[in-house]
Structure 1
Amino acid sequence: MTRRCPLAIALAAALLAAPAWALSGIASFDEVRRDFRPSDTVVLDRDGVLLQRVRTDASVRRGDWIALADISPALRSAMLLSEDKRFYAHSGVDWRAVSAAAWGNLWNTRTRGASTITMQLAGLLDDDLRRNGGGRSLTQKLGQTVAAQQLERHWRKDQILEAYLNTVPFRGEIVGIDALSRTLFGKAPHGLDGREAAVAAALVRAPNAKPALVGQRACELMRAMEPDDKPDCSALDMFASAALQRRAYDPSEGIAPHLARRALKDAGATPAPIRTTLRAPLQRFALDALQRQLRELRGRNVEDGALVVLDNASGEVLAWVGSSGALSRAAEVDGVLAQRQPGSTLKPFLYAQAIAERRLTAASLLDDSSAQISTAGGLYIPQNYDRQFKGTVSVRTALAASLNVPAVRTLVMVSPEAFARQLRAAGLPLAQNGDYYGYSLALGSAEVSLLALTNAYRTLANGGRFGEVRHLPRASAAPNGDVDAIDARAAFIVGDMLADPNARARTFGLDSVLATRFWSAVKTGTSKDMRDNWAIGWSQRYTVGVWVGNASGAPMWDVSGTSGAAPVWAQTMGFLHRSEPSRAPAPPAGVVQARVRFGDDLEAARGEWFVAGTEQPLFAIAPEASAAEAAPRIKSPADGTIIALDPDIPPSRQRLRLEAEGRGVQWRIDGKPFARGASAQWLPWPGRHVVQLLDARGQVVDELRLEVRGAGVLASAKR
């Protein structure tokens, strides 16, 4: 018969007087595991694949619950040697250790202590038994002893050890073996070796000890774990010091940080895994494609970008890349939601409105030449991207080739306020009314987000029906609630124009990166001073939007739509359709196709789509009186014109076009000869000026006065 110490017998008898709460029912292992909450929330794709891990509990650093079989055998051995050598022999209380501890206290000698792993776990599971700053009271110790015996009656040994390793505090905020392994050693718990296991076990006994003491304790454990080998304690001390300084467990890691934050906000920051509508392989490819392109653009002052992919039918977000990550100095800024100027990407909605209102057809002719539009703030003089004019072109060519002057002339027909209403209907919530932006709205002077702009293009893809996007799975099978926002006939015709490689050849060439091997419609855009670069387009099933620029708003250097965002758009579209076809949409009711010709061979004859009732066989310029018959006169600018110079545009790019009728005419500015011929380009400088037109005999036949305001130019440039 085993003889016990009288003090141990007395302690056992005292348990009979333990408080009632210590004898209450204890939670089951399954309940404890179910109630375990990591300090991070995981965000998953539609198939349950991990996208992002985000820390949502700042009070502790707690990882996942790890099954005992997935914990390193070396760690299990080290933990038992350190904390409870007779773990598998006792029934919750190690009476031999209790006796040793009692005699040690009596004779003031140092012992290991009597607290078993089961007793420690009881203190971790019950707040009333938890240790405070001054240690546990006698009542708590008695309750902890009773609770440990309760655990042993209802739990298996492997369950006790598993729960202990997942809930024990280690150092600072770190709780549980998963958080410890990933924070100090940068690996999962199953990969811990003997040296790492010894350091981990040493931290349980002295969580906040100095590295030297942790290393010393770990060395003692290594001797016990491997009695035949002599550990290098000096090396182990250095290893422990390095490990305790490491923080390899990042607060957030994954491939979709911006979408994860959005999903957490919309889902109420629940600790449970959050499933989204994204596709992890697509998200990974899109992020890689964006980063590769930005590396290609290194040296052109561009470091940021964003990308979003939408499912046309459901509005589900399939990819959400908010930034270029490590390539950016503002990686936390979500480029999918940031407000930026969209440049020419608003033109499709403008032409759709003009076609729907029967002001234009796809074959209508527009004048792409210098235009000077009077506004309350002075003359508005739009320019094309390449500073060249194409003359008379069809609407199809004007849109696909992204010509600015024809777009502004179209907005004059539609009016800025009416166009602003159309944009809002397509889901672009402009901050101001149309009159605030004026005619520059045709060229994207308003600010919109990439998500809203991409969804507006999805509206075109869906025949003009607007619907909200979503990144969380729908809770029910309720209908989308889409509404008509753009005339379906106009949306189809605009899509056909944007899918026409021949029409865009005037600007982009026939071998443009915008051309895909499957049906797609796409538009690029570049905002003022190359601050924002866009490529937005759709296929039969998907709409893809890409933005490239700088989060700071700094201009890029010589980055156009085809060299900036378009390659990423084309690669992403190619990935989506690597094994999936994309066919052109069928024309809706009310759309007819007719053969058209153009006078003076302005464009090749072709089959063209029309809103029924607007078709005609010939489009030509009305004849005008010849210049020889007309009396010489100044056609533009108008008398009294006020010209406002833009300080952000180089002076050499702000020339004023002088146009006149008549032969043999010449120009004089402020009394000095300037140029000969019916047209001339003048580089204005601030001040009031007199422009005179002289006939072939040198007589003044017309004159006007104008004023130039704004930034000055170098004196050497005045010529």
Structure 2
Amino acid sequence: MRGKAISGGPGCAQYVKRLSLSAVLLLALSAGQAQALQRFADVQQEFRSSEASLYDRKGQLLQQIRLNPHERRLSWVALEDVSPALRNALVASEDRRFYQHSGVDWSAAAAAAWGNLWNSRTRGASTITMQLAGLLDDDLRRRTSPRSIRQKLSQAVVAQLLERNWRKDQILEAYLNLVSFRGELVGIHALSRVLFDKHPSGLNQREAAIAVALIRGPNAAPARVAERACRILQDQNAAPQCKGLEGFTLLALARTGSNSEVIVTTTAPQLAPHLARKLLHTPGQALRSTLDAGVQRFANDALHRQLAALVDRNIQDGAVVAIDNASGDVLAWVGSSATFSNAAEVDGVVALRQAGSTLKPFLYELAIEKKWMTAASILNDAAINLPTSSGLYIPQNYDKQFKGLVSVRTALASSLNIPAVRTLVTVTPSAFFERLQGLGFQLRESGNYYGYSLALGSADVSLLALTNAYRTLANQGSYSGVRTTLSDPAVTMRKVMDPGAAFIIGDILADRSARSRTFGLENALSTRVWAAVKTGTSKDMRDNWAVGYSDRYTVGVWVGNASGLPMWDVSGVTGAAPIWQEVMQFLHQRDQLRQHIPTMPAGVVEQDIRYEDKIEAPRHEYFLAGTEQSLITTAKSDDIKVAIRYPTQGMLVAIDPDIPPQRQRMRFAADGLSSGWWRLDGKLLALPVKAGKKASRQTPPPNQQLAFDWMPWPGRHVLELLDAKREVVDQVRFEVRGATEKVPEQLRKHAVKK
């Protein structure tokens, strides 16, 4: 009978004890168990949670993610942090003489042996220490079948060695952290969190009884677990606690789901899931990140507030990044809008999205750096058609209107599209592409692939790369990567921009008056501290950006839909900018930072300027030394440079055999010259003579309109544009494919030898 001594006589107990001692001595001599015994500190140190934890720069827990799919373990719990009710229930149920024996309870062993002989039910003979030995030594771990005699004797040996080398509290603490409960739950911490949603220190007597009952029958039915728990309570003179126990047990075990699948619950904050998945790779890993928990939490909240306000504008997703300018430390990494999103697992910080107008500052910086333009230069915001290999490229402004002649300052601050495209014609897509690569964008295609649309942000970029590129402007042209953990090495800066040009771009982006032509004076781009900021919206309103910097921080925000669906009537100022403004002001209010305007670097000159014809009001302007001027005239307008507009470099033209040749013509076109000559494959081309006039075989006069209708013939061709001095100013190569190599007679009439 359970709980009573088995009447086998004292001789039986002595016999079992002598037999066991003999076996123990033999095994102790042969197995070398003492040398293999682990120390308590080693077991504690080697314990690995199934979770990995990400902390902020000050040691505050940000995120936990599970990395072990086979077991659910949480952090190690000290014995003093375990409820006394649980400790008492465990000892009462599993090992009543735990504090008296030295690892093996010989009386219980004798009773168990006698009971097995007569097929009687008895309390198990394995002590808590012996069970711990089975948990520590994989060879002694109980599988589906009972342990062999040798395993049992080895278990007894290890148990006695544990008792000699460990304290009782250490044995109990290790056991509670290593014992398996229901399904994949290992350790009292995981069990307590999942079943009762509390720390082990808070378990009451009823909860403790259920937990201990699960040790003997981890996968037993709820009714059976409740029955065992009730017996444990009765043994502790707490029978009234059995009332309603079966229903309570059923609800608790339901939290482990069906088929022993644990429902994942955690009380850890879920502030940085995307960065945690990026950085954490090992169960039990604890990593100190560069994030600031306060900034991370505020950025999360700001994103949620804005998306809630725009719920009727078809916006589901967003992301926020904040970086310290000097160190490159990422202070906030919000990858998703979480509950607002249908794709919360997508990390918006590193996802590639179309950049929109956010690349314009880098384009103008390059033009100013090369001294092709200044902040005062005049650009023409008027309609333009640019031939490309895939057809005409016809850029438009956001509001579908034209502003006429404007300065570079106005064009950038007000985010006018056509002046940016005109600037890219001067800079060239290839040179702009190389600069973007130097800023860490890692664009997938070449500059010629994007063509002139690169000025308007046709390339796909990540929020992290874009924000860090703006940080380069904040650091006056010095670039470095970012840090996401405190263990990362300090960043190393390298110069990729002219400091003066970067300073001038920052001054433009901070100029409220210059941006007023598009955005007005009062908008979400204005902050209480000096800040340079740029917004952007991609084609069809699929992506919305606001990126900017102060002297201390750079903040980037993206909103849109991870699915690629367009937003409804949302611009950068109304979508992403309010979040940017909140985060930027929070950073400075938190640190109580004074407003600081960047210092003008060497090589920059401040000059009073005025415009001919009063195109813009007089003002102070910044120039790179050697480019300053006081009177800006329209004659100095930086428009499209001399270039062949059509055909484009590398163009492939196919002749259609079903269309008469005289109806298949290519029009050569150029910009930047009032007159000049075309030369094709080394031969000058003459314009067709008017009817009634005799054709001349002499060198033709220069083409006044620089437009020539040419009847194509198959082959590879070199087309050159010559100025009035017969000097080559531009050249393109293209190819025509067709069914005949014969030169049409009409063409021969218009070709003159050199």
- Name the TM-score class by shorter chain: 0.7 to 0.9
**Are the equivalent residues in 2 in contact too, given 1:45–1:278 (CA < 8 A)?**
yes
**Are the equivalent residues in 2 in contact too, given 1:540–1:583 (CA < 8 A)?**
yes
Match among 326, 331, 355 for residue 339 of structure 2: 326
Q: Name the CA distance, whole Å, in 2 between partners of 1:308 and 1:299.
A: 25
Indicate the residue corresponding to 1:512 in structure 2: 523
Which letter maps to 1:24? A
| Counterparts in 2 of 1:305 and 1:475: CA distance versus 1, 3 Å | closer
Q: Name the CA distance, whole Å, in 2 between partners of 1:386 and 1:611.
A: 32
**Are the equivalent residues in 1 in contact too, given 2:319–2:559 (CA < 8 A)?**
yes
| Counterparts in 2 of 1:614 and 1:203: CA distance versus 1, 3 Å | same
Matches within 5 A, 1:442-591: 442-474=455-487, 480-578=491-589, 579-591=592-604
In the superposition, the TM-score normalised over structure 2's length comes to 0.79
Higher mean alpha-carbon deviation, 19-28 vs 501-510, is at 19-28
Q: Name the CA distance, whole Å, in 2 between partners of 1:34 and 1:621.
A: 76
Question: SS where residue 580 of structure 1 aligns?
Answer: coil
Indicate the residue corresponding to 2:271 in structure 1: 255
**Are the equivalent residues in 2 in contact too, given 1:549–1:555 (CA < 8 A)?**
yes
Indicate the residue corresponding to 2:404 in structure 1: 391
Q: Cα offset for 1:76?
A: 1.2
The alignment-based identity, stated in percent, is: 57
- Structure showing greater radius of gyration is 2
Give yes or no for the alignment of 1:239 onto 2:251.
yes
Q: Name the CA distance, whole Å, in 2 between partners of 1:127 and 1:259.
A: 36
Q: Cα offset for 1:15?
A: 2.3
Give yes or no for the alignment of 1:381 onto 2:394.
yes
Q: Name the CA distance, whole Å, in 2 between partners of 1:308 and 1:554.
A: 23
**Are the equivalent residues in 1 in contact too, given 2:230–2:239 (CA < 8 A)?**
no
Q: Cα offset for 1:395?
A: 1.0
**Are the equivalent residues in 2 in contact too, given 1:215–1:241 (CA < 8 A)?**
no
Q: Name the CA distance, whole Å, in 1 between partners of 2:647 and 2:51.
A: 67
Which letter maps to 1:61? R
Count of residues in correspondence between the two structures: 627
Matches within 5 A, 1:337-348: 337-348=350-361
Q: Name the CA distance, whole Å, in 2 between partners of 1:482 and 1:227.
A: 69
RMSD: 2.5
Alpha-carbon displacement from aligned partner over 1:626-683 (angstroms, at most 9, x marks no partner): xxxxxxxxxxxx9999xxxxxxxxxxxxxxxxxxxxxxxxxxxxxxxxxxxxxxxxxx
**Are the equivalent residues in 2 in contact too, given 1:341–1:447 (CA < 8 A)?**
yes
Matches within 5 A, 1:431-450: 431-450=444-463
Q: Name the CA distance, whole Å, in 2 between partners of 1:640 and 1:106.
A: 101
Hey, which bits of structure 1, 4+ residues long, moved more than 6 A?
638-641
Which letter maps to 2:274? H
Give yes or no for the alignment of 1:65 onto 2:76.
yes
Q: Name the CA distance, whole Å, in 1 between partners of 2:587 and 2:492.
A: 26
Alpha-carbon displacement from aligned partner over 1:367-409 (angstroms, at most 9, x marks no partner): 2222222333322221111222222211111111111111111
Indicate the residue corresponding to 1:15 in structure 2: 24
Which letter maps to 2:265? Y
| Counterparts in 2 of 1:438 and 1:94: CA distance versus 1, 3 Å | same
In the superposition, the TM-score normalised over structure 1's length comes to 0.83
**Are the equivalent residues in 1 in contact too, given 2:321–2:331 (CA < 8 A)?**
yes
Indicate the residue corresponding to 1:413 in structure 2: 426
Q: Name the CA distance, whole Å, in 1 between partners of 2:10 and 2:594.
A: 81
Indicate the residue corresponding to 2:730 in structure 1: none
Question: SS where residue 322 of structure 2 aligns?
Answer: strand
| Counterparts in 2 of 1:236 and 1:254: CA distance versus 1, 3 Å | closer
Question: SS where residue 258 of structure 1 aligns?
Answer: helix
Give yes or no for the alignment of 1:312 onto 2:325.
yes
**Are the equivalent residues in 2 in contact too, given 1:339–1:447 (CA < 8 A)?**
yes
Matches within 5 A, 1:44-193: 44-193=55-204
Alpha-carbon displacement from aligned partner over 1:421-447 (angstroms, at most 9, x marks no partner): 111122222211111111111100011
Which letter maps to 1:45? D
**Are the equivalent residues in 1 in contact too, given 2:387–2:646 (CA < 8 A)?**
no
Which letter maps to 1:235? G
Indicate the residue corresponding to 1:691 in structure 2: none
**Are the equivalent residues in 2 in contact too, given 1:219–1:236 (CA < 8 A)?**
no
Which letter maps to 2:280? L
**Are the equivalent residues in 1 in contact too, given 2:384–2:394 (CA < 8 A)?**
yes
Q: Cα offset for 1:476?
A: 5.3
Matches within 5 A, 1:280-295: 280-295=293-308
**Are the equivalent residues in 1 in contact too, given 2:51–2:283 (CA < 8 A)?**
no
| Counterparts in 2 of 1:639 and 1:145: CA distance versus 1, 3 Å | closer
**Are the equivalent residues in 2 in contact too, given 1:521–1:538 (CA < 8 A)?**
yes
Higher mean alpha-carbon deviation, 493-502 vs 233-242, is at 233-242
Q: Cα offset for 1:186?
A: 2.0
Q: Cα offset for 1:253?
A: 6.2
Alpha-carbon displacement from aligned partner over 1:290-310 (angstroms, at most 9, x marks no partner): 122111111211111111111
Q: Name the CA distance, whole Å, in 2 between partners of 1:230 and 1:285.
A: 45
Which letter maps to 1:350? L
Question: SS where residue 13 of structure 1 aligns?
Answer: helix
| Counterparts in 2 of 1:340 and 1:573: CA distance versus 1, 3 Å | same
Higher mean alpha-carbon deviation, 95-104 vs 503-512, is at 95-104
Which letter maps to 1:322? G
Q: Cα offset for 1:5?
A: 4.8
Q: Name the CA distance, whole Å, in 2 between partners of 1:340 and 1:495.
A: 24
**Are the equivalent residues in 2 in contact too, given 1:40–1:57 (CA < 8 A)?**
yes
Q: Cα offset for 1:333?
A: 1.0
Indicate the residue corresponding to 1:681 in structure 2: none
Give yes or no for the alignment of 1:227 onto 2:238.
yes
Which letter maps to 2:178? T
Q: Name the CA distance, whole Å, in 1 between partners of 2:428 and 2:411.
A: 18
Question: SS where residue 561 of structure 1 aligns?
Answer: coil
Q: Name the CA distance, whole Å, in 1 between partners of 2:634 and 2:330.
A: 47
Question: SS where residue 175 of structure 1 aligns?
Answer: coil
Q: Cα offset for 1:238?
A: 3.2
Q: Cα offset for 1:59?
A: 2.5
Which letter maps to 1:41? A
Q: Cα offset for 1:244?
A: 4.1
**Are the equivalent residues in 2 in contact too, given 1:464–1:486 (CA < 8 A)?**
yes
Which letter maps to 1:174? L
| Counterparts in 2 of 1:22 and 1:211: CA distance versus 1, 3 Å | farther
**Are the equivalent residues in 2 in contact too, given 1:55–1:251 (CA < 8 A)?**
no
Indicate the residue corresponding to 1:673 in structure 2: none
Q: Cα offset for 1:58?
A: 2.1
Q: Cα offset for 1:252?
A: 9.0
Q: Name the CA distance, whole Å, in 1 between partners of 2:487 and 2:101.
A: 53
**Are the equivalent residues in 2 in contact too, given 1:520–1:582 (CA < 8 A)?**
no
Match among 606, 616, 622 for residue 619 of structure 2: 606
**Are the equivalent residues in 2 in contact too, given 1:489–1:589 (CA < 8 A)?**
yes
| Counterparts in 2 of 1:237 and 1:41: CA distance versus 1, 3 Å | closer
Q: Name the CA distance, whole Å, in 2 between partners of 1:107 and 1:135.
A: 18
| Counterparts in 2 of 1:223 and 1:354: CA distance versus 1, 3 Å | same
Q: Cα offset for 1:241?
A: 4.2
Which letter maps to 1:384? N
Indicate the residue corresponding to 1:24 in structure 2: 34
Indicate the residue corresponding to 1:633 in structure 2: none
Alpha-carbon displacement from aligned partner over 1:18-72 (angstroms, at most 9, x marks no partner): 2532642322211211111111121222222112212222221111110011111
Matches within 5 A, 1:352-391: 352-391=365-404
Q: Name the CA distance, whole Å, in 2 between partners of 1:323 and 1:175.
A: 32
Q: Name the CA distance, whole Å, in 2 between partners of 1:321 and 1:639.
A: 46
Which letter maps to 1:12? L
